[in-house]
Amino acid sequence: MTATLLSLPLPTQKKSASVQDHKQWGQLQGSSAALCITQAQAQYNGPIVLVTADTPSALKLEKELAFFMPNAGAKTSAEQSNVPITVFPDWETLPYDSFSPHQDIVSQRLETLYRFTQQVNGIFIVPVNTLMQRLAPTDYLAKYLLMLNKGDTLDRDQFRRNLEQAGYLHVSQVMSHSEFSVRGSIIDLFPMGSDKPFRIDLFDDEVDSIRFFDTETQRSGDAVEKIKLLPAREFPTDKESITLFRQRFLEKFDANNASESVFSQVTKGTMPSGVEYYLPLFFDKTATLFDYLHPKSVLLLHGDVQDASEFFWADIQERYEQHRYNPARPLLPPEDLFLPINTLFGAIKQWPRVTLTQDVIEEKPGSVNLGCNKLDDIAINTQKKVPAEQLIATINNAKKRGAKVLFCAETQGRREGLLTVLQKAGIKPKAAESFNTFVSGSDNIGITVGMVENSFNWRSDSGELLFITETELLGHKVSQRRRRDKRSATDESAIIRNLAELTTGQPVVHLDHGVGRYIGMQTLDAGGVTTEYLCIEYAKQAKLYVPVASLHFISRYTGGDADHAPLNSLGSDAWSKAKQKAAEKVRDVAAELLDVYARRAAKPGFAYNIDWDEYQKFADSFPFEETPDQAQAIAAVIHDMGSPQAMDRLVCGDVGFGKTEVAMRAAFLAANQGKQVAILVPTTLLAQQHHENFKDRFAAWPFEIEVMSRFVSAKGQKETMQRLVEGKVDIVVGTHKLLSNDIKFSDLGLVIIDEEHRFGVRQKEKLKSLRADVDILTLTATPIPRTLNMAMSGMRDLSIIATAPARRLSIKTFVQQRNKATIREAIMREILRGGQVYFLHNEVDTIARTAEEIAEIVPEARIAMGHGQMRERELESVMSDFYHQRYNVLVCTTIIETGIDVPSANTIIMDRADHLGLAQLHQLRGRVGRSHHQAYAYLLTPHPKRMTKDAAKRLDAISKLEDLGAGFALATHDLEIRGAGELLGDDQSGQIASIGFSLYMDMLDRAVTSLKEGKEPSLDDAMAGHTEVELRIPALLPDDYIADVNTRLSLYKRLASCKNQDDIDEFQVECIDRFGLLPEPAKNLVEVAEIKIKAEAIGVLKVDLSSQGGTIEFKDTTKVDPGYIIKLVQTKPNTFKFEGSQKLRLVKQTDTAKARIAFISDIIADLAKESR
């Protein structure tokens, strides 16, 4: 079979409108269209423009084309295909939207337009809605393009003017596209069309060097010879263009509209949000994408382009009619901004084109069926006796026909997993570098790596190919991200253990030696074996080196001030005494916890009889895909509500991660069984929003939903109270008013509490009394430490939603001293990209003066003010206006902490951030970044000398946790900052301080488990160590495999906490995907971890083995049958000998690591077979 599977000639010259050259390719099922297109491209000398029905199709095809491209996967750059594949994205806004596209999108669009004018080959993928947009004329880019070469002479002032004329923004620190900064002889800039920023170093007036630099570290990197700078927007913003805009605006619209915001803001040089929908006014004449096409271009139409374009045009017209009568924002007619359907297809017909379809078509000149069909159902079914029965039959039939079979996994790590599945089924594919090397090679069954979604069967004159994707074989889409999601969805304790990686100087606890200070990682050569060690410093500067294979003995110390952690002395008995004392105290606490647990269990709640058909209809109406963690939380809530014990569950998930949907599912189950639901929220604004959201979500169901808050009149509240007593209200949303004694329910079944830590002591006491009687579901982004501790101790059930919704970006957080330049830059950066800003000032007395100050610093901003002492209706009006973007800066107090969602607000500035608590800081930061746009948080502080030590720690903690899902980690930081002792009362604080919170909780967990099983907790068990395996072989992650020490440490911790073979497999998959195939020392490390898990399961305390032999030491509680060990010693006296009552000596020469691992693995496996 040759790499060129079939001949697909394309038209080679542009036709006139009278001579249409239209071909059709049919029978392209599965992902075969991508293969077909790459085959055609290889035979064509000119650009291919692939028009798709929508953006998801475009992005899918981009990945698949890259996989099938000739020479894809070639080892050297010289062999690789030099054919670029470029997606021309849309703005990601709705027609006539009032906010602007992200600068990154604009950058990508401008770069693509530039490529259209330069490239003579390649594949351009264009969604049809993007093809319909009118664009800047073709000479626009050339007019504002700046080229800069090393060695050029540069007039600094003129260059700065050129940048400003091209729409670039001068800032003090470059972070985003279209920004620049001038510092003496250094010019930093982030050109549009580039994925990296550059640093230009001038020597006098000559460009001495041009280098990449990192926006995070601000450190420069590799040098380049030249750069190009595209304009900052898709329309010009210089004085000449603004004059033209004013003139054309007045021609198009009534002169009375000239005072409106769009006209006045552009006149001032400030581009308002959504200004892109006035693009034609900046030019004498617009262009379309067809004007940018190379004369030799050919169009390929993929999917139902006609239907998609008609739907989009209808949407444009509908939105135009909806918004055209807004006098503050007069609109250009649709045909000024988009191509009408007739014009679009008239333009398409001017070009040679091919329509691609899955259907079988009538064959005639120019129309051909390409013989590519779907495969029969080959999914592996684990419920069957032979799970791969259908797949095996399909492959056997293919072999008989002489067909080739290629399996495709998404990543290297997944390939290893898929290979294991296939080998179990007796299928042994050979590894293939790429699709093309397999097709042209001699192997008949292969496996490769690529992002291809659908299988297909291709038959042509040159042979037959079965292309089988992992997605269809395993029956679901698997990706590395999802695998991490799955892990987070199933193991809350792993998240708790791995909250923050160790940094140098932090205190740690070693199970056997006590509290020391981590001072770094070191690679040492001990007895000819190279191993990596953690170096821990104890009292009197004594050092302990802990091999990475023993990392499970180490935990972070959390028990108070890390700077003053009580370091133990190596060799003294103080540590064992402290552990012994703590273990005795732990037993009492465990008994008290169990008493609370038992009282709750003894009072049965209401067991819901779930109507699954109705529930499924409600679940199906959720408009988004559930994240794995969200699905896990929902399943846990359903289980709790279906059991007779009263639910008391804490759902912890970052802001915007989908906790509300979990609450809605619970509310549905309760209301559907005639129970009443109370939703308790801390603020009036949040009550309003929850009420609206619940009304929307439950619109199709006959439930009565009401709200009790300050915004409801006294008469309305009285009516609601009466209807609650009568059972005529199913779901009520309210503030703490719902807890007052005069509120009575007919049959309250479920209380949902949003952000419990925001309620006062009296309200919490009322909630405490409710807990025994009704189901309680608590939602929080940052659980307060006491809540977190109770959840971790088993008194409350815990669900963690740590999976971010798709395309959510983390929030960039800056802690800076307050100054006007920072404030102006932060606000201008946001409003110039069409976004909105929260400016938080938490002192009502001075908030008006602060608003005036902001107006002076940023006169371009439209500023509103909101705080809790305003009249209710006035506050509601301000928040509504801000939501509808009538203002772009809201100066406010912490009233927004649990306020309404404003998707276009993507910057928050917190004045005197040092006065705010950690939970508040996190919650407030969560007000921004609710969309896929990059969000920023600026924490403004006074001089460091004016801040308390705890305030500095809080700010440091939140600035380090930019990761999505950081709320859970913040609660643990809170434990450290406040001192963990206060959680369990003064009596326990000394014990926690002496041994650390992590070890204390571990001991408590063991004690609770023992008591639950009716056993008295063993103090030895409470301090029990883990299994240790020492094989004296190189077992580490080499620094030439993973250079970053923190990454290595993180992975060592991950491996040490693996509980089973699935965890180990997952670890290997991630390493292979991120860093490549495992080197020998890393393979050894993984195999030692596997041995440790198996040995621990059967009660082995320590394995110590060298080249001449060694020992296996058993715990007192070992599960291994003593009779079997005696039999071993009797039947193989030369290999096995007793050494004391707990040790088995092994006599065996193993000169290689492989032989030693195999020897001990076999012994542990045999012992496991003979275990109780």
The reply to whether 355 and 393 lie within a common domain is: no
927 assigned to some structural domain: yes
DSSP designation for 158: H
| pLDDT value, residue 1170 | 85
* CATH number for position 72: 3.40.50.11180
Around 1102, how many Cα atoms within 13 Å sit in the side-chain half-sphere? 12
484 assigned to some structural domain: no
Cβ–Cβ < 8 Å for 1005, 1022: no
Instruction: Report how far apart the first and last C-alpha atoms of the chain are (Å, whole number).
Output: 57
Cβ–Cβ < 8 Å for 281, 135: no
In angstroms, rounded to a whole number, what is the distance separating the alpha carbons of residues 130 and 309?
10
Bin 527: left if φ > 0, else alpha if -120 < ψ < 50, else beta: left
The reply to whether 935 and 821 lie within a common domain is: yes
* CATH number for position 393: 3.40.50.11140
| pLDDT value, residue 560 | 61
Q: Spell out a b/e string for 1-39, using b for 16 or more CB atoms within 10 Å of the CB, else e.
A: bebebbebebbeebeeeeeebbbbbbbbbbbbbbbbbbb
The reply to whether 669 and 770 lie within a common domain is: yes
The reply to whether 778 and 905 lie within a common domain is: no
Domain count of the chain?
A: 6
Q: What share of the chain is helix, strand, coil (3-state, %, to 5)?
A: 45, 20, 35
**Six-digit token string for 300:** 């390929």
Residues facing residue 1105 across a β-bridge: 1110
The reply to whether 821 and 953 lie within a common domain is: yes
The reply to whether 939 and 797 lie within a common domain is: no
797 assigned to some structural domain: yes
504 assigned to some structural domain: no
The reply to whether 121 and 206 lie within a common domain is: no
In angstroms, rounded to a whole number, what is the distance separating the alpha carbons of residues 974 and 953?
10
| pLDDT value, residue 1159 | 93
| pLDDT value, residue 11 | 57
| pLDDT value, residue 892 | 93
**Domain span including residue 153:** 146-229
449 assigned to some structural domain: yes
In angstroms, rounded to a whole number, what is the distance separating the alpha carbons of residues 1147 and 1137?
8
The reply to whether 396 and 352 lie within a common domain is: no
11-19: Cβ within 8 A, 24+ apart: 11/298, 11/352, 12/44, 12/45, 12/46, 12/296, 12/352, 13/295, 13/296, 13/352, 14/295, 14/296, 14/297, 14/350, 14/351, 14/352, 15/350, 15/351, 15/352, 16/350, 17/346, 17/349, 17/350
Among 963, 992, 1027, residue at a domain's last position: 963
The reply to whether 363 and 380 lie within a common domain is: no
Around 596, how many Cα atoms within 13 Å sit in the side-chain half-sphere? 14
Among 347, 367, 387, residue at a domain's last position: 367
Cα Rg of the chain, angstroms: 33
628 assigned to some structural domain: no
Q: Which residues contact 84 (CB under 8 A, 6 or more apart)?
A: 115, 119, 122, 123
Among 367, 382, 399, residue at a domain's last position: 367
Ranges in the chain, pLDDT < 50:
1-4, 15-19, 75-80, 476-500, 784-787, 806-807, 964, 975-989, 1022-1023
Cβ–Cβ < 8 Å for 1002, 566: no
The reply to whether 205 and 290 lie within a common domain is: no
8 assigned to some structural domain: no
Q: What is the pTM of this model?
A: 0.55
912 assigned to some structural domain: yes
* CATH number for position 1133: 3.90.1150.50
Q: Spell out a b/e string for 910-920, using b for 16 or more CB atoms within 10 Å of the CB, else e.
A: bbbbbebbbbb
Cβ–Cβ < 8 Å for 842, 916: yes
The reply to whether 335 and 456 lie within a common domain is: no
The reply to whether 823 and 953 lie within a common domain is: yes
